[in-house]
């Protein structure tokens, strides 16, 4: 046994020993054993088997010893440790930052607050803020605002987006149109305020509407009309309380683009002066009692024909057409409707 330990110790110091060395070592170590066994009559064949067995047991033990005693360290172990440490540090920083109160932002002297050129600060009333309720109550599309039968509380023209071109605010409780209602809406082309309670329109309420072409104020309580935009093409004031004295002199004559004029169901006593561009004029259900030769034509000028005029309504007036033959001589067709 002592000899075996000696060989084992030598094998640990030298890992490059040859197999022959181990064979000699085994022979050397088993010599005393064989001599002791010879007295017990052990055969040479048995001794050879013992040597072979000892050889196969000793050699693996010697070669495997460095592997068993050495500690294997993965190459990436240090990297994993570093990564884990960094994650822990990052998480701890995040938690600490979340617990810390937010720092106030200090603006430098050269920092400009986002205020528009009109000088409106963050706390000032802005036009966009005023437009928001209108678009909540009404339907706001690109260039169009629909406020039809919105609420009995709508007693004035609502604030409109600046790009509004078409306004439909029919059947509400609007009672008055002021100079401020359309002052900033130069893009308006059509206004329909049918079925409201409008009894007054301030002078100049439409003066800035240079693009306005259609104005409908039917079914209101108007007793007079203000000055109208020069580019107006269609005017509908049916079912109001208009009287002749409520119309300014030449109020329609100056409208050189006016083609459609609806003045039915009012209280007019006479036909106002009409522009040459008119195609349709409705004067039915008024109090018109007389006509002149210049109402539609140019007096005794029998060569004058009003080609543009296509439709005239005078029914519902206390008038007899047969008494005024020269009033329609220039027209291509007689007024439509039932007459006495």
Contact between 187 and 163 under an 8 Å Cβ cutoff? The reply is yes
Contact between 59 and 22 under an 8 Å Cβ cutoff? The reply is yes
12 falls within a domain: yes
pLDDT at 90: 57
pTM: 0.61
pLDDT digits (tens, 9 = 90+) for 81-128: 444 555 555 555 654 554 555 444 333 333 343 334 334 443 344 344
253 falls within a domain: no
159 falls within a domain: no
| Low-confidence stretches of the chain (pLDDT beneath 50) | 1-8, 11-22, 25-26, 33, 37-39, 67, 71-73, 75-83, 95, 98, 102-131
pLDDT at 21: 46
Range of the domain at 15: 2-68
77 falls within a domain: no
Number of folded domains in the chain? 1
107 falls within a domain: no
16 falls within a domain: yes
28 falls within a domain: yes
Q: What DSSP state is assigned to residue 172?
A: S
283 falls within a domain: no
Q: What is the DSSP string of 224-268?
A: ------TT--EEE--SS---GGGS-TTTTTT-TT--EEE--SS--
CB within 8 A of 208, min separation 6: which ones?
A: 182, 183, 186
């Amino acid at each position: 046994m002592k000899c075996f330990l000696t060989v084992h110790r030598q094998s640990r110091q030298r890992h490059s020993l040859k197999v022959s060395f181990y064979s000699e070592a085994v022979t050397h170590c088993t010599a005393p054993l064989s001599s002791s066994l010879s007295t017990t009559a052990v055969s040479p064949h048995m001794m050879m088997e013992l040597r072979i067995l000892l050889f196969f047991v000793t050699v693996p033990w010697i070669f495997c010893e460095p592997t068993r005693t050495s500690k294997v360290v993965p190459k990436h172990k240090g990297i994993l440790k570093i990564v884990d440490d960094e994650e822990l540090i990052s998480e701890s920083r995040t938690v600490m930052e979340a617990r810390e109160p937010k720092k106030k932002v200090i603006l430098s002297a050269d920092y400009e607050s986002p205020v528009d050129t009109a000088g409106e600060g963050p706390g000032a009333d802005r036009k966009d803020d005023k437009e928001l309720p209108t678009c909540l109550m009404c339907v706001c599309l690109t260039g169009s605002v629909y406020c039809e039968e919105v609420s009995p509380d709508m007693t004035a023209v609502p604030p409109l987006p600046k790009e509004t071109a078409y306004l439909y605010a029919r059947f509400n409780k609007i009672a008055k149109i002021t100079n401020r209602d359309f002052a900033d809406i130069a893009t308006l082309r059509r206004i329909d305020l049918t079925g409201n309670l409008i009894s007054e329109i301030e002078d100049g309420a439409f003066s800035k509407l240079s693009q306005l072409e259609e104005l409908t104020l039917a079914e209101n309580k108007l007793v007079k009309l203000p000055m109208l935009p020069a580019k107006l093409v269609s005017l509908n004031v049916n079912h109001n309380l208009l009287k002749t004295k409520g119309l300014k002199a030449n109020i329609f004559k100056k409208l050189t683009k006016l083609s459609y004029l609806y003045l039915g169901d009012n209280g007019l006593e006479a036909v106002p002066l009409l522009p040459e561009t008119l195609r349709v004029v409705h004067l039915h259900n008024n109090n018109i009692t007389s006509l002149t030769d210049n109402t539609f034509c140019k007096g005794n000028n029998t060569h004058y024909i009003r080609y543009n005029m296509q439709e005239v309504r005078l029914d519902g007036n206390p008038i007899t057409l047969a008494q005024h033959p020269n009033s329609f001589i220039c027209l291509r067709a007689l007024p439509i409707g039932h007459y006495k």
